[in-house]
Structure 1
Amino acid sequence: MKYRLCLIDISHVHNVAGRAMRLAGNSLALALFFCATLVPLSLQASEPQPVHAIAMHGEPRYGADFRHFSYVNPDAPKGGRISLHSVGTFDSLNPFVERGVADSRITLVYDSLLERSADEPFTEYGLLATKIILPDDRSWVEFILHPDARFHDGKPVTAHDVVFTFEILRTQGSPFYQAYYGDIDSVTAVETRRVRFEFSSAGNMELPLIVGQAAILPKHFWEDKDFSRSSTVIPLGSGPYRVARVDAGRSITYERVEDYWARNHPIKRGRHNFDAITVDYYRDGNVALEAFKSGAYDFRLENNAKDWAVSYSIPAVRQGMIQRENLPHRNPTGMQGFALNTRRPMFTDPRVRQALAYLFDFEWTNRNLFYNAYARSHSYFSNSEMAAVDLPGAAELRLLEPWREQLPDEVFTQVYRAPETDGSGAIRDNMRIASSLLRQAGWEIQGGRLTHRSSGSTMDIEFLIFDTIWERIIQPYRRNLERMGIESSIRVVDVTQYVNRVRSFDFDVVVAVFPQSTSPGNEQRDFWHSAFADQEGSRNLIGIKDPVVDALVENIIAASDREELVVSARALDRVLQWGHYVVPHWHITSYRVAYWDLFAKPSENPPYDLAFDTWWVDPEKSATITRQRGSRQR
């Protein structure tokens, strides 16, 4: 045990020591007195001090007295009504439960304890929480709530609302929350404006930040309602917008809260500038694009390379009425790919999964369908330092060596690269490799069909999609599969059916995106952990059940510093790569945006977000655009 010397006024020592000696009558009293001044350091250590922000690793960029984020215009004018779009439908305003399909922007209604900055890898600043108290080992955290924090009905946000939020999310919310908040032992309202979280173990650096991200729900609003059901009941929140109008499945309008409690908060200054945001829903992506070009909505994030290349050659673009920009970002792009459901017997063997990757011709697809707009994804952490792009170093090997007998040799000896072609459409070499892998796994062509030697079953694959845009990408892949004797089909269903089938793992192959942040953590459990492979509604779509993956996920969560986090992520990346769980797709490192020229925006775009909420409507531009494209119902 460490000790520290208590330095006190020597005259005071003499006086007290003298009194002690007279009372005790012997020299032992003096010895005991001086020993008492040597107190265990752990007992004398100061309590953690309240702070205004916490970073995953390192220190926050902005000090306690900051006035606004550097990437906003703090004097941005409020006003204007804008229209956006979504493809699909919605039938719920409750995004926290498994049932129903909620509007993706419903989170505008809610505030959280902390909010993340967009120009740091992972730092959160107090919002509903004005102060944060946590020890160095992050085994617990306390939040002191802002005295001005109010829900839209004027009632204060209290610690009891925070406790209620985490209780109901973990008991009645989506299975995601059970994974995400799995290390929370208890949530206690210490005082009306003070709440304490105790964690099951120390060292989870991310958990206090995860806790801070939760949308805080009003207990008085939900306690007499069935939270577990999807609902179009207009929710009550404390955020910058409230729901004004709902036409279920077609449109939803959010209106800015004029007396929003945090309108002058440093985190919010210069943001949420539009008076109203209407989101219109379109069943088809092509129809949505044509609607944008005709002026039906104002802003579009373009995710289709072909459309970006050829579909904007219209007068409105040439005349400057529609602006187009590529805005670079530094976000990890994660992994997008054809996710193979390993719960299906035909996908249990990794050699089969690897063979299917050899039959996808990315280079031809990129050249002929995407105008060479994309880079191939080889990593689950693409565009970041966490991607495994070299052979494992010493630190990584320390994590992987204990599992050597359970891992493919390639994890230790090769750098993974997704199969490549010359882009000509002729993939004979890849087909030979795929054929060999399939034979090793017990499959051979019999009567023109790929058939398993033992079971006699044929390989029949269904691609489940809800957006017809994927048909043109899947069709060339199907032709390659059929040349190998693999029967395949495309099943197009509506969004609701798609969501329900994916939640219940009722699919062979889906297009899946596994997004990654600059500081991965607890969400990795929901993606890959065995505990969630059979839990309907989890994001372990592939059905991975691997103790090695489980252990590496826990290493990421427990990483004590950035270096350890990076090493742990690379080790996980490597194991996932060589597990051949997806047929990798592609990524891009910029936002492609198109918008009618009625907006103004800050000169600086943050590196980790599009930050559309920092834009504002320019009244003069808006009036000009309205005249040019004709008046319309807004």
Structure 2
Amino acid sequence: MATQFFSRYLIRSTAFALCCTTSMAFAEAKHGIAMYGDPALPQDFVSLPYANPEAPKGGKIVTGEGGTFDSLNPYIQKGTVPWQLRFMLAESLMGRSYGEPFALYGVLAESIEVGDNREWAEFTLREEAKFSDGSPVTIEDVMWSYEKLGTEGHGRYASLWTQIESMEQTGPRSVKFTFNTDNRELALLVGMRPILKKAQWDGLDFTKSGFDQIPIGSAPYVVSDFKAGSFVELSRNPDYWGKDVPFMRGQANLDTIRWEFFADSSLVIEAFKAGELNAHREFNVQTWDDQYNFPAIERGDVVKSIVPHQRPSGMTGFAMNTRLPQFQDWRVREALITAFNFEYINEVQTGSQQSRITSYFSNSTLGMQDGPATGKVAELLEPFKDDLLPGAIEGYTLPVTNGTQNDRKSLRTTLALFEEAGWTVQDGVMKNAEGDAFTFDILLKVGDDENQSIIDTYVTNLAQLGIKPTVTVVDAPQYRARTDSFDFGMTNFRVGLSLSPGNEQKSYWGSEAAEIEGSRNLIGIQSEAVDSLIDTLLSSTSQDDFLASARALDRVLTSGRYAIPIYQWNISRLAHAKELKFPETLPIYGDWIGWQPDVWYWED
């Protein structure tokens, strides 16, 4: 869209903007919106059900992160930024409840109105909404934020912007977005963009990365201290405007949130044991069992909490870059998955205590079901049956080894798959008919010790097949640059999926995203079936259709053999100071963005 888009709509007179169209006259302003039906919480709800509106204010949480950072602007493409920061600095028109699959309630906006088919959405700002510097949040700020983020911001904001046909001020505190795509989710997504202060960026380059300009938002916390690459500290704004907004009651209870950074991620747990941190999320079950017996735990000063969830597993593992010729044959990808020998690696790494991801939406109702596709799922797959890979329709399960380091049966299976794809072992080296060796680069990040250990074992397994990949370990900025430009053969990746998959699926798996540098489609998936199923997912008007399309998509992605899945976490393991508490009522998403530290509190 043209960069003049914002100014074109801003100059509309208020008198003209107040003239409602016929379709708007019949719209009903509501306090929230859900993907299907009505949101669960009523107009007069007091707080989110998993927040404690009586929680005391005070205290601090200090957590550790592996890696570093060189910027505090999380809304642009450049720079390495603490991942949590984009959720902490700025608020959006509406906020997401993680007690429901996909429901939003007003934050900066007091109400939302939508068209009959959700072809447009209109928001009315709360009169009391203010930025952290005390200045009011205006419609001008809202419209500027949408255009600036959509045209110059991080790539994650571009897709929505291209689907907005028009943006217009319709009243002193109201703005209407009309969409150019038949996509019911857009009415929700448009309420979730961060709102920044336009005046802060007058005469400045918004895309410039660094520490000179920390974006001003309206959220409860502001960056109060930092040291480049070392730590970031946020302090609760005592004059926060939204403390009585129902969505925010029981949130932002802690006075201080601090993130400590360690170049070597293995030092994070050591810092926690030493008392430098007071909360830690543990991903390794064996470490949880073996190392969480230090004095602070024995004294009761630190407690261990298990938090279950009902969200999809997502995909954690090692992505294969299908843009490269050696990964384009599905039999090669299946062979590399078989050669991974998860059962042996799991025994070495966790004592076989960690379950494996079985599909992208496993651990949830959205996951593909065992056996052949039936009913609506089968109907959705039928048009693509000639192009789908084996397992999509009849059912697919990951290969299983006997758990020993040298599983001869799996080795034979792997060699047979390579041979079918035109690769054989010649003089101890896996080669094709032209004599070219099969090899690839495995890209890892400095300090990622667990994945490094897993890959070391994998490389040993591959050596038995005459395959010698190159393992390249780079620092965080280099890793970001290389993954953004898809300069790798295989790399570790993590894609978290929700109970309400939507437009983000296009950036994860869509054909268009495969060609966009910096997109989340690291694998490079370009599949007509995937694209069509995502479209069906987005246009579903019933829960049944939505469920079927998600399960069908799961089948196509899983049978695509695009990644080597590793551990599934259907619980979170959290160790924390005994004074750090969380409400007894847990959201269905469990330990997810918007839970820690948002609803946690300090109680002596």
Same fold (TM over 0.5): yes
- Alpha-carbon distance in structure 2 between the residues aligned to 1:155 and 1:63: 31
Q: Partner amino acid for 1:547?
A: E
Residue by residue over 1:160-201, the C-alpha shift from the partner in whole angstroms, topping out at 9 and shown as x without a partner, is 212111111121122222234442222222223111111113
- Alpha-carbon distance in structure 1 between the residues aligned to 2:337 and 2:347: 18
- Alpha-carbon distance in structure 2 between the residues aligned to 1:409 and 1:234: 50
Structure 2 counterpart of 1:109: 89
Aligned: 1:90 with 2:75 = no
Aligned: 1:360 with 2:340 = yes
Alignment of 1:223-238 (within 5 A): 223-232=202-211, 233-238=213-218
- Tell me which structure has the larger Cα radius of gyration: 1
Higher mean C-alpha deviation, range 365-374 or range 530-539: 365-374
Say whether the 8 Å CA contact 2:344–2:404 is kept in structure 1.
Answer: yes
Structure 2 counterpart of 1:401: 382
- Alpha-carbon distance in structure 1 between the residues aligned to 2:267 and 2:358: 33
Structure 1 counterpart of 2:109: 129
Q: CA shift at 1:597, angstroms? A: 1.8
Structure 1 counterpart of 2:301: 321
Q: Partner amino acid for 1:377?
A: I
Q: Partner amino acid for 1:166?
A: Y
Question: Which of 52, 60, 63 is residue 73 of structure 1 equivalent to?
Answer: 52
Q: Say which SS state the counterpart of residue 549 (structure 2) adopts.
A: helix
Aligned: 1:477 with 2:458 = yes
Say whether the 8 Å CA contact 2:441–2:488 is kept in structure 1.
Answer: no
Name the CA shift for 1:369/1:192 in 2 (closer, same or farther; >3 Å).
Answer: same
Q: CA shift at 1:304, angstroms? A: 2.2
Structure 2 counterpart of 1:298: 278
Structure 1 counterpart of 2:145: 165
- Alpha-carbon distance in structure 2 between the residues aligned to 1:100 and 1:65: 42
Structure 2 counterpart of 1:526: 507
Give me the TM-score of the superposition, normalised by structure 2: 0.92
Aligned: 1:369 with 2:354 = no
- Alpha-carbon distance in structure 2 between the residues aligned to 1:568 and 1:271: 35
Say whether the 8 Å CA contact 1:55–1:123 is kept in structure 2.
Answer: yes
Q: Say which SS state the counterpart of residue 278 (structure 1) adopts.
A: strand
Aligned: 1:617 with 2:596 = no
Q: CA shift at 1:385, angstroms? A: 1.4
Question: Which of 199, 205, 219 is residue 220 of structure 1 equivalent to?
Answer: 199
Gaps of 5+ in 2: 1-20
Q: Partner amino acid for 1:425?
A: Q
Give me the TM-score of the superposition, normalised by structure 1: 0.88
Alignment of 1:402-421 (within 5 A): 402-413=383-394, 415-421=395-401
- Alpha-carbon distance in structure 1 between the residues aligned to 2:240 and 2:295: 41
Alignment of 1:145-544 (within 5 A): 145-202=125-182, 204-232=183-211, 233-390=213-370, 391-413=372-394, 415-454=395-434, 456-466=436-446, 467-544=448-525
- Alpha-carbon distance in structure 1 between the residues aligned to 2:324 and 2:98: 40
Name the CA shift for 1:603/1:86 in 2 (closer, same or farther; >3 Å).
Answer: same
State the 4+ residue runs in structure 1 displaced beyond 6 angstroms: 42-46
Give me the CA root mean square deviation. Answer: 1.8
Q: CA shift at 1:267, angstroms? A: 0.8
- Alpha-carbon distance in structure 2 between the residues aligned to 1:615 and 1:573: 34
Q: Say which SS state the counterpart of residue 392 (structure 2) adopts.
A: helix
Percent of matched pairs sharing the same residue: 38
Name the CA shift for 1:239/1:435 in 2 (closer, same or farther; >3 Å).
Answer: same
Residue by residue over 1:475-512, the C-alpha shift from the partner in whole angstroms, topping out at 9 and shown as x without a partner, is 22111111011102332211111111111111111111
Q: Partner amino acid for 1:347?
A: F
Higher mean C-alpha deviation, range 277-286 or range 366-375: 366-375
Higher mean C-alpha deviation, range 219-228 or range 348-357: 219-228
Gaps of 5+ in 1: 1-41, 621-634
Residue by residue over 1:579-613, the C-alpha shift from the partner in whole angstroms, topping out at 9 and shown as x without a partner, is 11111212021110001222233222222132222
Say whether the 8 Å CA contact 1:83–1:297 is kept in structure 2.
Answer: yes
Higher mean C-alpha deviation, range 561-570 or range 353-362: 561-570
Name the CA shift for 1:45/1:144 in 2 (closer, same or farther; >3 Å).
Answer: closer
Name the CA shift for 1:300/1:171 in 2 (closer, same or farther; >3 Å).
Answer: same
Q: Say which SS state the counterpart of residue 324 (structure 1) adopts.
A: strand
Alignment of 1:7-18 (within 5 A): none
- Alpha-carbon distance in structure 1 between the residues aligned to 2:49 and 2:246: 11
Q: CA shift at 1:378, angstroms? A: 1.6
Structure 1 counterpart of 2:31: 52
- Alpha-carbon distance in structure 2 between the residues aligned to 1:351 and 1:476: 22
Q: How many residues align?
A: 576
Structure 2 counterpart of 1:31: none
Structure 2 counterpart of 1:5: none
